[in-house]
């Protein structure tokens, strides 16, 4: 990735990774890739803001050296210890043995866990806490602890002179900068948020409250583009997402898991009936859609219909995995309809209800649609009743 100028004194030295197939070994990021972001603040003293994944160490070290032009950094500020951001930490520390490591108490606990108790002498560690500051000369960093956004040691750093928020993983997005420079921020930021950060909405709200009093001109996250325009919209979305509120309250997602195609066919029939009433409906085939996209769609809409085949007396596994993931991410505040299928002894609706009861603030429709293989007169009537319930609000 080409070195970028953030301001006269601040450079972007991060690295694009266009070869990674699965982020955190589970979320597909091809063909968009991902970026590992790092920044350098050049002043009387020099601060490097975070390192990068070990996969990208060589390019990152080269970028840092080019920006330094023979100088040595005084500080490496560690806002997040996850390996995609701390994987090259030791490489920089070994190259510049006089450089101090800046972090909070939990940061240093993790450094000892990751790299060994003797990795650094105590005089190389500069501990900061809530609202502590670090002067670099003209520039000054103020630290804001952000525990569980989305690891316990996370902190943000606000540069007071140029009003830049170094936000760690908050406001991050999938996509390398090279490949997604013109892509809208929200779609992949939304998927990143709900799958990576989403469980910790209360903690995100706490961070948003801290930064609400700051004048922010630029947000520099650890993944995705630097944000310089429409900051109000990004903050609005983060506020919405972290309260588990839908962006499209009247939107309906039909998520179906079909073995032989009959449940999928019935889902299409339900979609047609709903659209006939003016509803905006999105379909999601859980047997063909990656969970990260399915979960994002569920959070985006205000209403959800789950359509599932019964499988060996239980839920068809793609639906079970979907519901498990929703529960993990704190799914709530939605209207839910259910449709089950089973040539004999259909049990999916009862089992889906049991899974949904583990979640918060969900309002289930009274009508369940129960199929015996394919649609019949009874299930058609149930479907009409479910449509009436979903469209009544």
Q: What is the pLDDT of residues 226-268, one digit of tens each?
A: 999 999 999 999 999 999 999 999 999 999 999 999 999 999 9
H/E segment holding residue 202: helix 201-211
Sorted by where each begins, the domain ranges of the chain are 4-241, 249-391
Read off the pLDDT of each residue in 316-321 and give the average, rounded to a whole number: 98
Residue-wise pLDDT for 23-76, tens only, equals: 999 999 999 999 999 999 999 999 999 999 999 999 999 999 999 999 999 999
Asked if residues 201 and 330 have their Cβ atoms less than 8 Å apart, the reply is yes
Q: Indicate whether 110 pLDDT > 80.
A: yes
Q: Pick the closest to residue 232 from 248, 246, 217, 254 (CA basis).
A: 217
168-220 pLDDT tens trace? 999 999 999 999 999 999 999 999 999 999 999 999 999 999 999 999 999 99
- pLDDT beyond 90 at 18: yes
The total of other beta-carbon atoms located within 10 Å of residue 204's CB is 23
| More confident site: 272 or 379 | 272
Distances (CA, A) of 338 to 351, 387, 390: 10, 11, 11
Whether residue 6 contacts residue 220, with contact meaning beta carbons closer than 8 Å, is answered with yes
Reply yes or no on whether the pLDDT at 374 is more than 80. no
Q: What DSSP character marks residue 281?
A: E
CB 99 within 8 A of CB 75: yes
DSSP states along 46-79: -EEE----GGGHHHHHHHHHHHHTT---SEEE-S
pLDDT tens readout for residues 112-168: 999 999 999 999 999 999 999 999 999 999 999 999 999 999 999 999 999 999 999
Q: Is domain 249-391 in CATH 3.40.50.360, yes or no?
A: yes
For the domain made up of 4-241, give the CATH fold.
Metallo-beta-lactamase; Chain A (3.60.15)
pLDDT at 86: 97
**1 pLDDT higher than 70:** no
Q: What is the pTM (predicted TM-score) of this model?
A: 0.95
The band of 2, judged by pLDDT with boundaries at 50, 70 and 90, is confident
Summary mean pLDDT of the chain: 96
* Predicted local confidence at residue 375, as pLDDT: 78
Beta carbons within 8 Å of 312's beta carbon, 6+ residues apart: none
List the structure tokens of 133.
Answer: 């500051």
Given this model, what pLDDT does residue 373 score? Answer: 74
Partnered with residue 22 across adjacent β-strands are 28
Sign of the CA dihedral 303, 309, 313, 315? Answer: negative
pLDDT of residue 217: 97
**Cβ atoms < 10 Å from Cβ of 51:** 27
Q: What is the pLDDT of residue 377?
A: 79
Contact 254, 270 (CB under 8 A): yes
**Contact in structure between 163 and 215 (CB atoms under 8 Å):** yes
Contact between residue 238 and residue 171 where contact means Cβ atoms under 8 Å apart: yes
Residue position matching structure tokens 């066919």: 265
Model pLDDT for residues 268-280, shown as the tens digit of each residue: 999 999 999 999 9
């Amino acid at each position: 990735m080409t070195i970028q100028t953030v301001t006269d004194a601040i450079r972007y030295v991060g690295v694009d990774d266009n070869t990674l197939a699965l982020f955190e070994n589970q979320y597909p990021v091809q063909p968009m890739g991902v970026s590992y972001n790092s920044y350098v603040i050049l002043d009387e003293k020099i601060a490097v803001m975070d390192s990068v994944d070990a996969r990208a160490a060589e390019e990152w070290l080269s970028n840092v050296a080019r920006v330094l032009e023979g100088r040595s950094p005084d500080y490496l500020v560690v806002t997040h210890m996850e390996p995609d951001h701390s994987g090259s930490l030791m490489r920089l520390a070994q190259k510049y043995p006089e450089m101090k490591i800046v972090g909070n108490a939990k940061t240093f606990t993790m450094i000892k866990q990751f790299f060994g108790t003797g990795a650094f002498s105590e005089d190389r560690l500069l501990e900061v806490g809530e609202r502590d500051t670090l002067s670099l000369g003209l520039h000054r960093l103020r630290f804001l602890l952000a525990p569980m956004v989305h690891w316990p040691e996370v902190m943000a750093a606000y540069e007071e002179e140029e009003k830049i928020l170094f936000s760690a993983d908050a406001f991050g997005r999938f996509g390398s900068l090279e490949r997604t420079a013109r892509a809208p921020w929200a779609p992949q930021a939304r998927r990143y948020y709900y799958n990576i950060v989403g469980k910790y909405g209360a903690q995100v709200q706490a961070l948003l409250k801290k930064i609400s009093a700051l004048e922010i001109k630029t947000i520099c996250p650890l993944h995705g583009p630097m944000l310089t325009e429409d900051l109000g919209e990004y903050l609005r979305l983060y506020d919405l997402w972290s309260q588990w509120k839908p962006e499209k309250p009247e939107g309906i997602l039909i998520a179906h898991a079909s073995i032989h195609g009959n449940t999928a066919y019935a889902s299409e029939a339900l979609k047609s009936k709903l659209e006939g009433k003016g509803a905006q409906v999105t379909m999601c085939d859980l047997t063909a859609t990656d969970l990260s996209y399915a979960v994002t769609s569920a959070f985006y809409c205000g209403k959800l219909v789950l359509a599932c085949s019964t499988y060996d007396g239980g839920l068809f596994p793609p639906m079970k995995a979907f519901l498990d993931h929703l529960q993990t991410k704190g799914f709530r505040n939605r209207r839910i309809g259910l449709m089950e299928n089973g040539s004999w002894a259909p049990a999916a609706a009862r089992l889906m209800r049991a899974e949904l009861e583990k979640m918060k603030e969900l309002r289930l429709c009274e009508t369940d649609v129960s199929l015996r293989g394919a649609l019949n007169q009874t299930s058609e009537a149930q479907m009409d009743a479910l449509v009436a319930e979903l469209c009544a609000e």
